[in-house]
Amino acid sequence: MSSIIKYCMYTGVLSVLISCGGNAPAKNKVNAQVSVGTPDYANSDKHDFVLPQPISLARAFKDAGLSYEAGKTNPVGNKTGYNVKVSQWLNLGVYTTDLAYCSLNNRSKEAREYLQAVQDLGNAAGLSAVFSNRELIGKFEKNLGNAAGLEDVIYDMQEKSESYLVDQDLQHLAVIQFAGSWIEGMYLGIESARNGTKISVALADQMNLLEIIVRGLSRQPEKDKAIDQLIAQLQDIENVYAGFGTVQTAMKTPNSPSPELTQKELTALSHKILALRAEIVSIS
Amino acid sequence: MNFKFIQNSLRAGIFVLFSITLTANTYADYNNALDARLNTFKQECKDMIRPARYEGSRITYYAQSKENQKKSVEVFLLVDSEYSFAISGKECSTALTIRFYDSENADKRMLIKEIKSAQLLNTLVSSNDLNALYVRKFPKAGRLKNVVVEYEIAGGADKTEAIVLVIGYK
């Protein structure tokens, strides 16, 4: 019997030694310059995708002629009203687009307020490791009044946020955040189009992202009623859009540029987008 | 007799437990080492896209098999500017072919560019080059607004490998 006890002791000690001898997992190095996270080592999806940065959504609209209009963004005061996880991540996306919108239009005061909203909601959602970064905040403050500088800081912030989520194997949450960013961008674009700006081609360009967003939301590891509802609403928008005459004509010709929507189509799309955006930003 | 049986069962149980622990640790060590190498390759790709701004990245993992296999990553080029695609095939030990398409739909898509023997190398491709090739092949097309990067990986040894893609825009 004593030999068994000895055997157990040797095995235990050896196991502990082996466990301690491995390399430190890269995924725990939160502030590492680059991180690759905890992947599915067996296999990635056969058809994967990379979502653009939320600021790229705003940049594309800005390049298409979207100008700043006060009072359109989600009020920063709402930030404390998002207490459910899905709502927090969606509105983190909404505020990120608002931050980009203000920064690209050189609205320093508003940009600072939206940075604070993104920080607060980011901390609430569990991203304090990203948003408590003093260096990042310092860089932002230093670049207030310099639109290009602010844009660089926001790209930097998004890169750190993405790195952190990959690190912690939370990439699925980035899709929820992106859905919020996308709907806010579309909302701001539609509001601008209603005021006569010709950005309907930019709206059609961004509609191409919808299928990917839905695919990403459908891959959430946990079942969530709010996500299922969001998917249904986004698919509804997708179906309405696919039924437009200009879209169907464009789809007949492979590789054709995005269509310019008619006023009637734009109105139909607006109804859907505005209703969903209002639901997302409403506070509980 | 009973005592002997218990003793042997315990020995066998401990041996199995020890083997599982050893295997799990070896597997974790392999993955940690893979992670470390991929970190390096990702940083190399990030350096390659400079001065472009970092737009995103994707690491495509695959389990090597005897058969050729294909994996793809779709990328959106929202901004009318030059995008850079840095791809590291340094962790790919068998023949790697990279193809750029204008769509994921296999029936409608058009091959824009193909790069053969990209294994063990870093490769940089610009959207300006892709756009020029695209317009040459399809004059009516506008600029590329999404690109599908497809990897065709030749069959090989039974192990996990990965390909790194980093995207930037100027």
CB atoms within 10 A of CB A49: 22
On whether any CB of chain A is under 8 Å from the CB of B158, the answer is no
Tokens 């601008």: give the residue. Answer: A192
Among candidate residues B64, B61, B123, the one with its CA nearest the CA of residue B93:
B64
Burial class (CB in 10 A: 0-12, 13-18, 19+), A284: exposed
| pLDDT value at residue B21 | 67
Task: Give the Cα separation of A161 and A178 in Å (integer).
Answer: 12
Position B1 confidence tier, pLDDT thresholds 50, 70, 90: low
Cβ atoms within 10 A of the Cβ of B147, count? 24
Instruction: Check A50 against B56: CB less than 8 A apart.
Output: yes
User: Which residues in chain A (10-29) have CB-CB distances under 8 A to chain B?
Assistant: 11, 14-15, 18-19, 21-27
Return d(Cα A158, Cα B164) in angstroms, integer.
19
Please tell me whether the peptide bond between B51 and the residue prior to it is cis, using omega within 30 degrees of 0. yes
Strand partners, B163: B60
Whole-number Cα distances in Å, B158 to A41, A57, B97, B120: 13, 41, 19, 17
Q: What is the pLDDT of residue B24?
A: 63
Contact between A50 and B72 using a beta-carbon 8 Å cutoff = no
A-chain residues near B169 (CB < 8 A): 56
User: pLDDT 10s digit of each residue in chain A, 284 long?
Assistant: 445 545 544 544 444 444 433 333 333 333 333 444 445 555 788 889 999 999 999 999 998 888 899 999 999 999 999 999 999 999 999 999 999 999 999 999 999 999 999 999 999 998 888 877 778 888 888 998 888 888 888 998 888 888 888 888 888 999 999 999 999 999 999 988 876 667 888 899 899 899 999 999 999 998 899 999 999 999 999 999 999 999 999 887 666 778 889 989 999 999 999 999 999 999 97
User: What letter does residue A24 receive in the DSSP assignment?
Assistant: P
Chain A residues inside the 8 Å CB shell of B29? 22-23
> What kind and span of H or E run contains A147?
helix A147-167
pLDDT of residue A3: 52
Complex-level ipTM: 0.83
CA distance B117 to B101: 18
Q: What tokens does B85 get?
A: 């695609």
Q: How far is B26 from chain A (nearest CA, A)?
A: 8
Q: The CATH number of the domain where B79 resides is what? A: 2.60.120.1090
Could you give the CA distance from residue A232 to residue A234 in angstroms, rounded to a whole number?
6
Which of B69, B73, B76 to probe by mutation at the A interface, max A CB count within 10 Å? B76
DSSP state of B51: T
How far apart are alpha carbons A152 and B133 in whole angstroms?
Answer: 30
Which residues between 29 and 58 in chain A have a beta carbon less than 8 angstroms from any beta carbon of chain B? 32-36, 39-53, 56-57
Higher pLDDT, B47 or A195: B47
pLDDT tens across A66-97, in order? Answer: 889 999 999 999 999 999 999 999 999 999 99
Domain count of chain B?
1
CA separation for the pair A200, A188 (Å, rounded): 12
Ramachandran bin of A106, using left for φ above 0, alpha for ψ from -120 to 50, beta for the remaining angles: left
B136 in contact with A, Cβ within 8 Å: no
Quick one: what percent of chain B has pLDDT higher than 90?
59
Q: Which chain B residues are within 8 Å of A52, Cβ to Cβ?
A: 55-56, 76, 78
Degrees (nearest 5) of the Cα angle B58, B70, A168? 25
What number of H helices and E strands is found in chain B? 2, 8
Residues 22-81 of B with CB under 8 A from A: 22, 25, 28-29, 31-36, 38-39, 42-43, 46, 53-63, 70-76, 78-80
Instruction: Kindly report the nearest CA distance between residue A284 and chain B, in angstroms.
Output: 33
Which of A23, A34, A41 shows the shortest C-beta gap to B61? A41
Q: CB–CB of B61 and A39 under 8 A?
A: yes
Which of A4, A36, A206 comes nearest B7 by C-beta? A4
What residues make up the domain containing B140? 2-169
Question: Is B120 near chain A, with CB under 8 Å?
Answer: no
Residue A58: phi and psi, rounded to 5, are -65, -40
Give the closest of A23, A32, A60 to B33, CB-based: A23
Query: For residue A258, what pLDDT is reported?
Result: 83
Question: Using alpha carbons only, how large is chain B's radius of gyration in Å?
Answer: 22
Is the confidence at residue B101, as pLDDT, over 60? yes
Contact A123, A131 (CB under 8 A): yes
- How far apart (Å, rounded) are the C-alpha atoms in residues A32 and B168? 20
Interface test mutation site (partner B, options A11, A30, A36, A159, max chain B beta carbons within 10 A): A36
Q: What are the residues facing B50 on neighbouring strands?
A: none
User: What is the pLDDT, as a whole number, of residue A256?
Assistant: 73
Q: Judge whether A86 and A176 are in contact, CB under 8 Å.
A: yes
A232 Cβ partners below 8 Å, 6+ apart?
none
Task: Tell me the domain boundaries of chain A.
Answer: 50-281
Whether the CB of A2 is below 8 Å from some CB of chain B: the reply is: no
Distance of alpha carbon A26 from alpha carbon A212, whole angstroms: 29
Of the candidates B151, B143, B152, B164, which has an alpha carbon nearest to the alpha carbon of residue B76? B143
CA distance A46 to B63: 12
